[in-house]
Structure 1
Amino acid sequence: MAKTPSSTPSTVETASEQPTVGKGRPTPTRREKEEARKRPLVSNDRAEARRKARADAQLQRDKARIGMANGDERYLPIRDRGPQKRYVRDYVDARFSFGEILIPLMFVVIILTFLPDPNVQAIGLIALWAFFIVAAADAVLLGFQVTRKLKAKFGEDRVEKVRWYAAMRALQLRMMRLPKPQVRRGAYPE
């Protein structure tokens, strides 16, 4: 006599109401795990994978470029990070610097060198050297001003050496500075 399980409604209900013990599924075998981990080192469609990688890299570069231009601290290079550097950038961007005119003046002098008159060429070069001296003096003065302002705002012991940073930013054309200027001219930081 073979035993037949009795399928009464009461036994089926009790079996479904019992909580499952353990994880509720069988443990996968080693072969199944290895098969699940297998993936090709190189995609089957290499051209599509390359296009996707380039698109992803371009998206990341665009995001970083926009973040850096807007002055987002996450995307700034280390030399531009921190509240003191932000203060220096804002201070330099708020004032007019003679160094901003330096690059356009160099183009004018280059054009003057093409003229056949040596007197015009000499006057252009002398004017350029004189302007170099004025721009350098302005950069030195800016370095002292910025250091004094930083000491007043952040304290004597928290001041970094930022004179060179301020001078290099002041010698660039305003529209070519990175990060982009965040303040208008005359709106000095407090």
Structure 2
Amino acid sequence: MFGRKKDEPSAQDQVDQLAADAAVKGVGKGAPTPKRKEQEAARKRPLVPTDRKASKEAERIAVQDQRQKMRQALDTGDEKYLPLRDKGPQKRFARDYVDARFSLGEYLMFGALLFVVISFIIPSGSDALSYILIGFWVMFLAVFADVFILSRKLRKGLTQKFGDVERGTVWYGSMRSLQFRRLRLPKPQVQRGQYPA
């Protein structure tokens, strides 16, 4: 009742069968284990290349090629070679959304430059300078309100399209809106009014 069944093979028979199968299939290393000295010699590479001048030249060409690809990607928007801060579908959406709209922030630097130039021309005690200063602050507050509205709309669009918004994407889009359109990198890939779907 508790004994082995007569037709069941023994443990030794199973081992013998596995050994025979392995011999037929050719399972195994097929070669002796190499000595440690041989393995270390095979892995050894010189720390400094034998031809330093050629190595330096090859490295310089590789770096130059990588920079050229990155520069071209900044012009064309090719995701493969873009810098890490510009990569990803959410960053592309933010860029396209910002580039499609008119932003007051584009002209903030021009307004600041104009204010500096006028402040040198007009005497410091005149009322005209105070009006110009008030005008500059009004422009600054208008830009702040525009960026705030943009960030809300951008977050809403990102949430609708991607669900979860990556950290820093809304800030990325907001800072892009403060740059003059022609000087933005990566260069705009959409026309004004051509919002992303």
TM-score, normalised on structure 2?
Answer: 0.66
How many residue pairs are counted as aligned between the two chains? 155
Change (3 A) 1:81 1:60: closer
Matched, 1:124 2:159: no
Q: Which residue of the other structure, out of 111, 114, 118, is the alignment partner of 1:112?
A: 118
Q: Which residue of 1 aligns with 2:96?
A: 90
Are 2:106 and 2:181, in contact at CA under 8 Å, matched by a contact in 1?
Answer: yes
User: How many Å separate the matches in 1 of 2:152 and 2:49?
Assistant: 58
Are 1:68 and 1:178, in contact at CA under 8 Å, matched by a contact in 2?
Answer: yes
Residues 97-118 of structure 1: CA distance to partner in whole angstroms, max 9, x if unpaired?
0000111111111211211423
Instruction: Report the more deviating stretch, 106-115 or 49-58.
Output: 49-58
The CA deviation at 1:86 is 1.1
Q: Which residue of 2 aligns with 1:72?
A: 78
Change (3 A) 1:125 1:146: same
Q: Which residue of 2 aligns with 1:138?
A: 146
Instruction: Report the more deviating stretch, 115-124 or 77-86.
Output: 115-124
The CA deviation at 1:183 is 0.0
User: How many Å separate the matches in 2 of 1:58 and 1:170?
Assistant: 31
Change (3 A) 1:89 1:102: same
Structure 1 unmatched ranges of 5 or more: 1-33
User: How many Å separate the matches in 1 of 2:159 and 2:47?
Assistant: 59
Are 2:70 and 2:83, in contact at CA under 8 Å, matched by a contact in 1?
Answer: no
Secondary structure of 1:175 counterpart: helix
User: How many Å separate the matches in 1 of 2:90 and 2:52?
Assistant: 50
Structure 2 unmatched ranges of 5 or more: 1-40
Aligned sequence identity (%): 41
Q: Which residue of 1 aligns with 2:171?
A: 164
Change (3 A) 1:59 1:189: same
TM-score, normalised on structure 1?
Answer: 0.68
The CA deviation at 1:52 is 5.2
Secondary structure of 2:152 counterpart: helix
Letter in 1 for 2:137: W
Q: Which residue of 2 aligns with 1:180?
A: 187
Are 2:100 and 2:194, in contact at CA under 8 Å, matched by a contact in 1?
Answer: yes
